[in-house]
Chain A
Amino acid sequence: MTRVSVPASRAWRIRARPERRLRAILLFPVLAVALAALTILAIGRGPLVIAPVDIIDILVRAAQGVDQSSSREALVVLDIRLPRILLAVVIGANLAVSGALMQSLFRNPLADPGIIGVSAGAALAAAGVIVVGDKYLPGALPFASLPIAAFAGALIAVLILYLIATRGRETSVATLLLAGIALGALAGAIIGFLTFVADDRQLRDLTFWSLGSLGGATWDKVAALTPPFVLLLVALPFLGRGLNALSIGEAEAFYLGISVQRLKAAIVALAALATGASVAAAGIIGFVGIVVPQLLRLVLGPDHRFLLPACALLGPALLLAADTCARTLAAPAELPIGILTAGIGAPFFLWLLLRRPAGFDT
Chain B
Amino acid sequence: MTGSKCFLRWAALFCVALLSISAARSAAVKAPAAQRIVAIGGAITETLYALGQEQKIVGVDTTSLYPPHALRDKPNVGYFRAFSVEGVLSLKPTLVIAAESAGPPDSLKLLQDSKVAIARLPDAFTAAGVEAKIKLIGHLAQADAAAATLAETVSRGFSEVNARRAKVSGRTRVLFIIAMQSGRPIVAGRSTAADAMIGLAGGLNVAADFSGYKPMNDESILAAAPDVIVMMANGNRPSNAQIFQLPAFKATPAAAHQRLVALDGLYLLGFGPRTPQACEDLLSAFYPGVK
Q: Which A residues contact B (CB, under 8 angstroms)?
A: 46-48, 72, 75-76, 79-81, 83-84, 130, 133-135, 137, 139, 142-143, 146-147, 199-205, 208-209, 213, 215-218, 327, 330-334, 336
Is B289 positioned at the interface, with any CB of A under 8 Å from its CB?
A: no
List of 9 A-B pairs having minimum Cβ-Cβ separation, nearest first = A332-B220, A142-B238, A216-B184, A79-B247, A143-B183, A216-B183, A333-B214, A134-B235, A333-B210
Interface centre among A133, A327, A330, A332 (most CB of B within 10 A): A332
Give 20 new A-B contacts, CB below 8 A, not counting A208-B179, A332-B224.
A47-B223, A48-B219, A76-B219, A76-B222, A83-B247, A84-B218, A130-B181, A135-B235, A139-B237, A142-B180, A200-B63, A200-B79, A201-B179, A201-B235, A205-B181, A209-B181, A213-B215, A331-B220, A333-B217, A334-B217
The closest CB in chain A to the CB of B242 belongs to A142
Cβ–Cβ contact B179 & A216, under 8 A: no
| Chain B residues near A327 (CB-CB < 8 A) | 217, 219
Interface residues of B in 136-195 (CB under 8 A from A): 178-187, 189
In the complex, A46 Cα to B222 Cα: how many Å?
Answer: 12
Main DSSP-derived SS at the B contact region: mixed
In the complex, A70 Cα to B22 Cα: how many Å?
Answer: 85
Cβ–Cβ contact B213 & A334, under 8 A: no
Cβ–Cβ contact A200 & B236, under 8 A: no
Q: Shortest CB–CB separation between residue B170 and chain A, in angstroms?
A: 22
| Chain A residues near B263 (CB-CB < 8 A) | none
Cβ–Cβ contact A201 & B219, under 8 A: no
Residue interface bits B202-233, CB-to-A below 8 A is 1, else 0: 00000101100111111111111000000010
Contact of B247 (CB < 8 Å), options: A80, A130, A203, A334: A80
| Chain B residues near A336 (CB-CB < 8 A) | 215
| Chain A residues near B122 (CB-CB < 8 A) | none
The closest CB in chain B to the CB of A281 belongs to B182
Is B234 positioned at the interface, with any CB of A under 8 Å from its CB?
A: yes
The closest CB in chain A to the CB of B225 belongs to A72
Is B62 positioned at the interface, with any CB of A under 8 Å from its CB?
A: yes
Cβ–Cβ contact A333 & B183, under 8 A: no
Q: Shortest CB–CB separation between residue A205 and chain B, in angstroms?
A: 4
| Chain A residues near B279 (CB-CB < 8 A) | none
Cβ–Cβ contact A201 & B220, under 8 A: no
Cβ–Cβ contact A48 & B222, under 8 A: yes
Cβ–Cβ contact B250 & A139, under 8 A: no
Is B265 positioned at the interface, with any CB of A under 8 Å from its CB?
A: yes
Q: Shortest CB–CB separation between residue B172 and chain A, in angstroms?
A: 19
Contact of A332 (CB < 8 Å), options: B179, B209, B239: B209
Cβ–Cβ contact B247 & A208, under 8 A: no
Cβ–Cβ contact B250 & A48, under 8 A: no
Q: Shortest CB–CB separation between residue B51 and chain A, in angstroms?
A: 24
The interface size bin for chain B is 35 or more
Cβ–Cβ contact A209 & B182, under 8 A: yes
In the complex, A201 Cα to B188 Cα: how many Å?
Answer: 13
In the complex, A95 Cα to B135 Cα: how many Å?
Answer: 57
In the complex, A54 Cα to B200 Cα: how many Å?
Answer: 41
Q: Shortest CB–CB separation between residue A284 and chain B, in angstroms?
A: 13
Cβ–Cβ contact A143 & B210, under 8 A: no
Residue contacts A-B, CB under 8 angstroms, 26 given? A47-B217, A48-B222, A75-B251, A80-B247, A81-B219, A137-B236, A139-B236, A142-B237, A142-B239, A143-B180, A147-B182, A200-B79, A202-B235, A203-B79, A205-B181, A208-B184, A215-B184, A215-B217, A216-B183, A216-B184, A216-B218, A216-B246, A327-B219, A332-B207, A333-B215, A333-B216
In the complex, A327 Cα to B238 Cα: how many Å?
Answer: 24
The closest CB in chain B to the CB of A70 belongs to B251
Q: Shortest CB–CB separation between residue B267 and chain A, in angstroms?
A: 14
Cβ–Cβ contact A142 & B236, under 8 A: yes
Contact of A46 (CB < 8 Å), options: B185, B219, B250: B219
Cβ–Cβ contact B217 & A146, under 8 A: no
| Chain B residues near A133 (CB-CB < 8 A) | 236
Contact of B214 (CB < 8 Å), options: A47, A201, A334: A334
Is B248 positioned at the interface, with any CB of A under 8 Å from its CB?
A: yes
In the complex, A327 Cα to B247 Cα: how many Å?
Answer: 16
| Chain A residues near B182 (CB-CB < 8 A) | 143, 146-147, 209, 216
In the complex, A133 Cα to B236 Cα: how many Å?
Answer: 8
| Chain A residues near B234 (CB-CB < 8 A) | 201
| Chain B residues near A204 (CB-CB < 8 A) | 178-179, 186, 213
Cβ–Cβ contact A48 & B183, under 8 A: no
| Chain A residues near B181 (CB-CB < 8 A) | 130, 146, 205, 208-209
| Chain A residues near B184 (CB-CB < 8 A) | 208, 213, 215-216
